[in-house]
Each structure stands twice: as structure tokens, then as C-alpha cells.
Structure 1
């Protein structure tokens, strides 16, 4: 099963045990005005990620808000500010960080990078978190996942690593 951005947001919220009010605050810190109701709609799985056994849609079911790459990255930027505090911008630097998710293939790489920053993790911490979820990865492999897209040693991060990293986070943060 392919993870979409809504799924990433749901798993991240669970893993870090983030309250709804804090979710709204994090979106605002990332530059996106979102109400509590909008955030709750983002935390509904998309229709293609699960199947209703009867095969029909429940008319009572609320419609979800599909989280695009810009919204997800803004949330991750907000999470960094929420966890580490606002960083003073240097003269000549843009106020907001540039969006680094270029396409759907780089979402997981950016997710790992931004979580590493937000949670002040070392590479050893990340390897341990993945190990807790049953995934063995070398420091070199992890380095390739954390590289900038276009670097000669860059490696696209598959859903397996991202899903297991979020699972490992949940095991360590919710234990």
C-alpha cells in the first residue's frame, strides 16, 4: 500500500502524540492558516487508502481534505519551529524556507530530513528508531536518504523506510 500525505500526517500525529490544538498551531507556524475543523478533515484517511466492505459510501461520512506536498512540507517546517523555536533569519535570507518537495518521489526523503531536524536526532538515533521497527539500515544508506535530491549519492526513500520510521517513532515516543 502506498502512503499518501494524509496517511503520513495521521501516522506522525499518532507517533508524536500531538494534540489537535497543537496541530493547528504547527500549521500556523508553518505558514498555513488552518482551523481545528480543517485539521480534523486532513486527519481522515483518503478513500483510496481503505475499502468499505459493503462497497458503498456512507452518506454521513465527512469529506476529507487531501493534503498536498506544499501543505505537508509547511506542517513539517512548522513542527521544526514548534519543537526547536523560531530561528532568526540572517540578512539576505528568505523569511520562509524554500519548498524542497519537488515531486511525490521526494516526499519521504524530506519527511526524514525534517523530522531529524525537528526532533534533534542524530543519525545513530534514526538508525535505532528504524531498528526498533525491525528495519536494519547502515549509516551510509541513511546518509544517502538524507542527501539533497540531485546529489550523486542521493537515494529515493521508499514507503517502507518512511512507514517503519514513523512506526519506530511511535514505539519510542509513546512507550
Structure 2
């Protein structure tokens, strides 16, 4: 055989990958998506990509499980971004009436949160922006902020508590 695997080698590889990693890959995808059917689609797409990259996987460099989990995570992320970038279709929202009204409540909620964020300490605000606005992982946020991951976790915990307190205080002022 040459450098490129034949179709039989790639098919055998995919069958082996599914036998060895299918259950853990599915469990990981279910955790990421929260939906078994969507997770099964992610696993199928991951194995299809493994088949397309059989030569790389057969070369034996790097962790196969790591590659599979990374591909699955990327598929879930890409699908979430695609859903977020397209408008909601009527068929997507079966339990709501076709006309859901204006988006003023969403705008007001955003303004309230932004105002509350301004009242937090800079350390708390920047960790929340990195994690929730920019969608970074704890490790990515730690690297961006130049602090250890444990500090990011701690700050996010206390920042969310402080944010809730500020918002509760503002709500009390408005209603009281």
C-alpha cells in the first residue's frame, strides 16, 4: 500500500473508531448538545470526517480520541453559530404564535444587564465579558486575562453573585 489508504482501510478505520470510541463520543456529544438525536448526528458527522481524514489518523501521530472529541466539539460549535446567525423560522417555534411581538423586552433586559455590569469591579466585569460575551472557556479566559484558571473560576462565581445583587437592588429600587 502507498501513503493513501484504500477505501477498505478507511472503512475499517471508521468501524474500529466507532467500536473503540463511539460510546464515549456519543456521551460527550450529548453533554454538549443536551439532545440525543442531535448528538447522534454529531457522532455521524465526526466519523464521516474521520473517514475523509483516514490518512492522517492512520499515520499514528497524536491522540485519535482527542482528535475525535475536538472534531465533535467543533461541529457542535459550528452548528450553534449557524443557528444563532440565521433568523428564527416560523416552523422552528412551534409552541409560540407566529408573531411574537417586538423585541423591546430583550433590548430592555440587555440595557439592564449592561448597566449592572458597569457597577461591578473591573476584574469581575472582564471575567464575565470573556466567559459569557466572548464565549471563551475558563482556560482561554485565563490566558487572555493573564491569571490562573482557578482565579477565573473564583472571579466568575463572585462576579455572578455581585451581578445578581446589583440587579436585585435595582429591581427593589424600581418596585419600592
| TM-score interval for Structure 1 and Structure 2 normalised by the shorter chain | under 0.3
TM-score (norm 1): 0.25
TM-score (norm 2): 0.25
Task: Determine which structure has greater relative contact order: mean sequence separation of CA pairs < 8 Å that are 6+ residues apart, divided by chain length.
Answer: 1
Q: Which has the higher helix share?
A: 2
Higher CA-based Rg: 2
